[in-house]
Structure 1
Amino acid sequence: MQIIESSQVYDVIIVGSGAGGGMATKILSEAGLKVAVVEAGPFFDPADPEQMTQMKWPYESPRRGANTVRPFGDFDSAYGGWEIDGEPYTNAEGSDFSWFRSRMLGGRTNHWGRISLRFGPKDFKRKDQDGLGDNWPIGYEDVKPYYDKVDKLIGVFGTNEGLPNDPDGFFLPPPKPRLHELFYIKGARKSNIPVFPSRMSMLTKKINSDRGVCFYCGQCSRACQVYADFSAGTCLIFPAQKNGGQIDLFVNCMVREVTTNEEGKATGVSYINKDDRKEYKIKGKVVVLAASACSSARILLNSKSTQHPNGLGNSSDIVGKYLHDSTGAGRAGFVPDLMNRDMYNEDGVGGMHVYTPWWLDNKKLDFPRGYHIEIWGGMGMPGYGFGFNPNLFNQFFNLKVGGYGNSLRKDVKKYYGSVLGFSGRGESIPQKNNYCEIDNTTVDEFGIPVLKFNYQWTDHEMKQVKHMHDTFEEILHNIGAEPLGDKPGKDENYGILAPGKIIHEVGTTRMGDNVKTSVVNKFQQLHDAKNVFIVDAGPFVSQADKNPTWTILALSWRTSDYIVQQLKQQNI
């Protein structure tokens, strides 16, 4: 197969344009470096009328908004999902890992929940508390200056509460709780469960001329046409281009491998152009992988050479190991007091206005680590598969509702907005035997060997999720709500969602000081190739009970500063 090589040499090649790649693009290009961004999906701008889904009605979709094409609904801005035609992955026997990929400029940051939580001091040193897993080689004090910078650059609403492991930040005003959230607050506080304003990256006030302010349409998952919510494209890459950054975008380009020379140093990347199906090589002095934890591991494992026979960066045989995702479980209930509500536009951001961070002492429990609680409900835009579902009421409450015509319209109005739901998102313990590897029997449509997953939950995670469900039922009882469905038991693994379903996978290229037990150093630099860096969630040693995006952003900024410094000193 003919490979087309470019003669141009970039200062930095960045693979992936999500949180880590977007931040690296902004910092490195604005430092004066010539940057190439290689993205596996198409260009995306939510302000482009051809790509915009915000403010569209369900009837404007031939599927009425159903999730038969996009996993989170027809108007969700994710191009991709857990299953992508032509891009398979496999699971070992007994493993059920679900791998979500978002193929587009900005990656998953276009449609994520935008829950923007800092890791706390304990999260970096968990082994010191419970003896499980490993400590990070860095601490909160190393990352705090960059969390502060991310807060100020991107914007996040919330309140300073002085919580020891949920650090305060620089917050914009939070929106007020809506009616269903007031019910949650009432029920949670009856059980001494704390509730605080959520911390999310939507602009509730103006912070710069590049972005608008949230107008409370509640459709952040569709990506914002006024750039009021955070995505890497609109808030990092576009402003960097506007500020004169030397950035070349290579979209619809699937990276096969990092190329290396006889000294084992990276020389660039090879990729398949999805439009013409030809393979290309571009050259760079530095390569930054930000393709997502599993995709970056896949690229490294496929980057075999005489100098790196086990894959680039894999002399330790750790690439792909210690894969872990958030635990997840959910429950919903019917709140009779929310029946027969007046119909009105329930203003709010696309997500929760309040949340519950982890509040208990694990020494008094039968499982390690913790979880936070996310809340959903209210009168969002109805669409196919969302909102009022008469089958649930008939099945669980033996109510004769629904039907056709006027009776259906009457019951929709009666029960619309009367369901309140909770989602638990918790921390799992990293296990070396949870990993991804190359499946040498299967390739994708571009001829690139795919990943094979090996993953099992442990008793730690099962017990944690059981506690989630016990908590959910207690809160529903306090509210006077009727649970929808039965609480899952041991035979159902207490309802824990399959690994990968929460889309928080981390740990495949873990950070450490010991080259035999880690892949990158504390600046996310490969031990085996000093001019290769990883700025997605792969280097995470552990994951915390928080969403990883804010930490990806902070660490990517920290790594980017280090790259600039090392280039100036001619160390790479």
Structure 2
Amino acid sequence: MALNEDFDVIVVGSGMSGGYAAKEFCEKGMKTLVLERGKMTEHSVDYVGENQNPWDMKHRDRVDPKLIDAEYPVQSTCYAFRESTRGFFINDKENPYSVEDGKTFAWLRGDQVGGKSLMWARQSYRWSDLDFGANKADGYGTDWPIRYADVAPWYDYVEKFIGISGSAEGLPQLPDSVFQPPMAMTCVEEDAKAKIEAAFPERNLIHGRAAHLTKPTNEQSSLGRGSCQYRNQCERGCSFGAYFSSVSATLPAAKNTGNMTLMSDMLVERILYDVETGKATGVRTINRKTKESKDFTAKVIFLCASTLGTVQIMLNSTSEHFANGFANSSGTLGQYLMDHHTRIGAQGNYPGFEDKYFAGRRPNGIYIPRFSNLGNETDAEFTRGYGYQGGSNRASWTRALGGKGFGEELKKELHQPADNWTFRLQGFGEMLPRAENRVTLHPTKMDNCGIPQIHVDVSLADNERKMRIAMKRDAVAMLEAAGCTDIQAFEEEPVPGHCIHEMGGARMGIDPETSVLNGFNQCHDVPNVFATDGSAFASEACQNPSLTFMALTARAVDYAAAKMKEGNLV
């Protein structure tokens, strides 16, 4: 589309939420402008690390330590950061941010069309009324203005399009999705499942629920997507389109309508506001390459720039009417930032099954849903709960990397798998929403486009620390029940941001005096502006949030489009 078009909608961001917003608006006939601060990325064409063997790469899929220190000190702490994926990560030196003295925060970011949907771990779990009702039940945070029944049909809708592999379990705390066939467990995982569930009947070891196609539908195939090939190179990009990303699925669907204009390297500086109408008129952008400023106008704006990205834009959109940030009459903008706390659990050797191995490199594992504080506890040690991700492994030739040995004897040994299987459980715990965990704009530090840097002040509290004691203890107990030997509990510093599940900052709520958004992700103060990424969340459950991002986005688009047709948002 030509840039002189009169746009109906501006979508800021092209990742998990932005891609879905673009698809939905375009399919409803809306002329949609998608603005992405990162570089252009084309499906398949720009997956430079795909199919590369370690020995074919200059640094054997590792990144030069000098380059890490100079340009990627934060991004390099991500599990997916390697030579083959470095181009997907933002350059820390060129994109600084500020953290409160004495605290740490890892802002892990994508730097391209598609955002983090190209590098995510693809774990996809619904939330339940246990999650949406948690704030009201225990008094932390503000009550969500929605419940599971409001989101359930949108979960269905999104899952049918993106494709989720998994198994139906009938667990009230983890509602089932619309599933494609699950990725099979290993023999060790099946054995562990039987033993753990026998020892702890309230705990369930289930298939990981992942956004990988195992039996593509006609709709998915029509977009050029195919079945997972079990390569486990997902963070490099997948030309098969086997895992969901906006680059392989939602953006192509939007493009097919002819209603989308997509612009990369366009940083949104602020939202433009008309005090006479009480509505936003568009956005002001800065071209990252030329530093040229340009305004774009539209009837409706959807902020999908990631949790911190959206909050930064809103905080920077000050005016006489909104002196403390856009749509911030409540004063809560930037507050209640959350991230899951992880890097804790246990691992051990799994005896037996020495005559068994596995085929392929399954990009998935097992999941143990939350089992604490489900409503029948009489003396809870902490509030809310946690789940576990993990699985079994039997090391191959890669166990020799960095080790000793050489020659024919070593080669002969490495033709066989390791002597034993291992089993690992890693916990993911919920952080309570607290006003003191917040994001502001730094008063003096700017980025290279002249926009104030975000300043993050977030830390764990006593509830999370108490929860972590139980997370480690329960992981050990389950491995013991499974019969593991040489069990080792592990715990690393829980740096907020490392889980890459940031939520909060522009939370939804019933009361405009205590929240930024209503139950349709719509700003209380400005009816034609919506935020549908993680910034909208009033709490964070313990499940991975991306599936809920997309479900709430599709729901909000449906609402906004209906209001536009009624003339209420124009």
- TM-score normalised to structure 2 length: 0.89
Q: Structure 1 CA distance, aligned partners of 2:118 and 2:395?
A: 19
Work out whether residues 188 and 475 of structure 1, in 8 Å CA contact, stay in contact via their aligned partners in 2: yes
Identify the residue that residue 397 of structure 1 maps to in structure 2.
Answer: none
The residue identity in structure 1 corresponding to 2:380 is L
Number of aligned residues: 544
2:52 pairs with one of 32, 56, 67:
56
Work out whether residues 45 and 233 of structure 1, in 8 Å CA contact, stay in contact via their aligned partners in 2: yes
Identify the residue that residue 195 of structure 1 maps to in structure 2.
Answer: 205
**1:209-288 alignment, distance < 5 Å:** 209-210=222-223, 211-242=225-256, 244-263=257-276, 264-288=278-302
Identify the residue that residue 462 of structure 2 maps to in structure 1.
Answer: 459
Q: Deviation digits for residues 473-505 of structure 1, max 9, x if unmatched?
A: 2233344545576655xxxxxx45211110111
Q: Structure 2 CA distance, aligned partners of 1:437 and 1:39?
A: 22
Identify the residue that residue 313 of structure 1 maps to in structure 2.
Answer: 327
Identify the residue that residue 532 of structure 2 maps to in structure 1.
Answer: 535
Work out whether residues 329 and 424 of structure 1, in 8 Å CA contact, stay in contact via their aligned partners in 2: yes
Work out whether residues 208 and 364 of structure 2, in 8 Å CA contact, stay in contact via their aligned partners in 1: no
**1:445-456 alignment, distance < 5 Å:** 445-456=448-459
Q: Structure 2 CA distance, aligned partners of 1:506 and 1:372?
A: 18
Q: Gapped runs of 5+ residues in structure 2?
A: 69-75
CA 1:336–1:535 in 2, change beyond 3 Å: closer, same or farther?
Answer: closer
Q: Structure 2 CA distance, aligned partners of 1:377 and 1:84?
A: 34
Q: Structure 1 CA distance, aligned partners of 2:411 and 2:355?
A: 14
Q: Structure 1 CA distance, aligned partners of 2:160 and 2:56?
A: 37
Identify the residue that residue 137 of structure 2 maps to in structure 1.
Answer: 129
**1:348-363 alignment, distance < 5 Å:** 348-352=361-365, 354-361=366-373, 363=377
Work out whether residues 83 and 100 of structure 1, in 8 Å CA contact, stay in contact via their aligned partners in 2: no
Identify the residue that residue 304 of structure 1 maps to in structure 2.
Answer: 318
Q: Structure 1 CA distance, aligned partners of 2:432 and 2:181?
A: 34
Q: Structure 2 CA distance, aligned partners of 1:161 and 1:52?
A: 39
Identify the residue that residue 99 of structure 2 maps to in structure 1.
Answer: 91
**1:39-50 alignment, distance < 5 Å:** 39-48=36-45, 50=46
Work out whether residues 266 and 532 of structure 1, in 8 Å CA contact, stay in contact via their aligned partners in 2: yes
Identify the residue that residue 480 of structure 2 maps to in structure 1.
Answer: 477
Could you tell me the percent identity over the aligned residues? 31
Identify the residue that residue 429 of structure 1 maps to in structure 2.
Answer: 432
Q: Structure 1 CA distance, aligned partners of 2:466 and 2:110?
A: 31
Q: Structure 1 CA distance, aligned partners of 2:34 and 2:352?
A: 49
Q: CA deviation at 1:321?
A: 0.3
The residue identity in structure 2 corresponding to 1:195 is L
The more displaced of 134-143 and 92-101 is 92-101
CA 1:187–1:411 in 2, change beyond 3 Å: closer, same or farther?
Answer: farther
Q: Determine helix, strand or coil for the equivalent of 1:472.
A: helix
Q: Determine helix, strand or coil for the equivalent of 1:213.
A: coil
Work out whether residues 154 and 554 of structure 2, in 8 Å CA contact, stay in contact via their aligned partners in 1: yes
Work out whether residues 301 and 528 of structure 2, in 8 Å CA contact, stay in contact via their aligned partners in 1: yes
The residue identity in structure 2 corresponding to 1:347 is G
The residue identity in structure 2 corresponding to 1:530 is P
The residue identity in structure 2 corresponding to 1:474 is A
1:19 pairs with one of 16, 19, 24:
16
Work out whether residues 76 and 111 of structure 1, in 8 Å CA contact, stay in contact via their aligned partners in 2: no
Q: Structure 1 CA distance, aligned partners of 2:420 and 2:53?
A: 18
Q: Determine helix, strand or coil for the equivalent of 2:498.
A: coil
Identify the residue that residue 378 of structure 1 maps to in structure 2.
Answer: 393
The residue identity in structure 1 corresponding to 2:557 is S
Q: Gapped runs of 5+ residues in structure 1?
A: 1-5, 392-400, 489-494
Q: Structure 1 CA distance, aligned partners of 2:327 and 2:213?
A: 39
The residue identity in structure 2 corresponding to 1:64 is R
CA 1:476–1:408 in 2, change beyond 3 Å: closer, same or farther?
Answer: farther
The more displaced of 371-380 and 229-238 is 371-380
CA RMSD, 1 decimal: 2.6
Q: Determine helix, strand or coil for the equivalent of 1:101.
A: coil
Q: Deviation digits for residues 377-408 of structure 1, max 9, x if unmatched?
A: 436897xxxx53788xxxxxxxxx73445565
Q: Deviation digits for residues 241-280 of structure 1, max 9, x if unmatched?
A: 12x2411111111111112223342121122212222222
Identify the residue that residue 73 of structure 2 maps to in structure 1.
Answer: none
Q: Deviation digits for residues 26-64 of structure 1, max 9, x if unmatched?
A: 01011111111011112223421x424333211122221
Q: Structure 2 CA distance, aligned partners of 1:303 and 1:381?
A: 53
Q: CA deviation at 1:13?
A: 0.7
The more displaced of 287-296 and 467-476 is 467-476
Q: Structure 2 CA distance, aligned partners of 1:45 and 1:328?
A: 33
Work out whether residues 346 and 379 of structure 1, in 8 Å CA contact, stay in contact via their aligned partners in 2: no
Q: Structure 1 CA distance, aligned partners of 2:169 and 2:4?
A: 54
CA 1:18–1:502 in 2, change beyond 3 Å: closer, same or farther?
Answer: same
Q: Structure 2 CA distance, aligned partners of 1:521 and 1:477?
A: 46
Q: CA deviation at 1:313?
A: 1.2
